[in-house]
Amino acid sequence: MAAPFLARDEEQVLARRWKDEGNVGAMHQLAQAHMRLVIALAVKFRHYGLPIADLIQEGHIGLLEAAMRFEPERDVRFSTYATWWIRAAIQDYVLRNWSIVRGGTSSAQKSLFFNLRRLRAKLAQRGESSNAIIYEDIAQTLGVNRADVEMMDMRLSGPDISLNATVAESDPSMPAERVDFLVDDKPLPDELVSSSIDTHRRTDWLEDALKSLTERELSIVRERRLGEEATTLEALGARLGISKERVRQIESRAIEKLRRYLLQRHPEDAAGAMI
């Protein structure tokens, strides 16, 4: 903080010494004179709950990057150029460390992350109280989806919670973790195995039963019941040279023959094998 301020001419001299002569000392002198800027920008991100010292260090990295890339021939003050690099470095650090779950990967998501609270507070001051209206206004302002606004607001509303954290209300003698209360809607492994075995068995039954049909009956059943898309009665009738009503009658007779065949050979399980 005791480093002297630099005039425009002094900035130009130091920048040219670094760019033209590769003088590292000049580059560091240029950067050190703007550490106040790093601190001022880092303080603006203190409400994200990260150590201010770490924010300053990350901002210093951005400052050094700006000093290395600064082009003295452009008619711009170094502080104006460095501000973008400092802020970008701090924002990247916040996004990487604010939550264990990475978020804000796109530019729109980053803008939403760093502007949501400010815009929400601004709308609240104007008297907006409905979340639906607030989310819609923020989405239009930042050019993002309303669903993204709702999701980000939910993430910012509370800290990360470990699934291995003990539930306070659980029995002290048998402590339970949050992960124990997650519900899995998928079938149990034994149910999956049983279903797979039954499916193969019933497929074999059906293939065996299909052999009892005539060639025309088998063709109609495959087209009407066993394909990905059922062929219409009109299309089958035109292909076979018969009316659609006749196709329907043959189909009904074939299904009945299959039902009788399965009931005779597998009476205890045939109900689940019907098509």
pLDDT band at 72 (very low <50, low <70, confident <90, very high): confident
Tens-digit pLDDT profile for residues 98-127: 766 666 566 666 777 666 767 777 777 776
Higher pLDDT, 72 or 115: 72
Judge: domain 8-97, CATH 3.30.1330.30.
no
pLDDT tens figures, 145-170: 777 777 776 666 666 677 777 776 65
Please state the pTM of the whole predicted model. 0.51
CA distance 226 to 216: 15
The partner residues of 166 in beta bridges, in order of sequence, read 177
Phi, psi (degrees; rounded to nearest 5) at 248: -65, -40
pLDDT > 60? residue 257: yes
- Domain residue spans in the chain? 8-97, 103-178, 189-273
The pLDDT > 70 percentage for the chain reads 82
CATH number of this structure's domain 189-273? 1.10.10.10
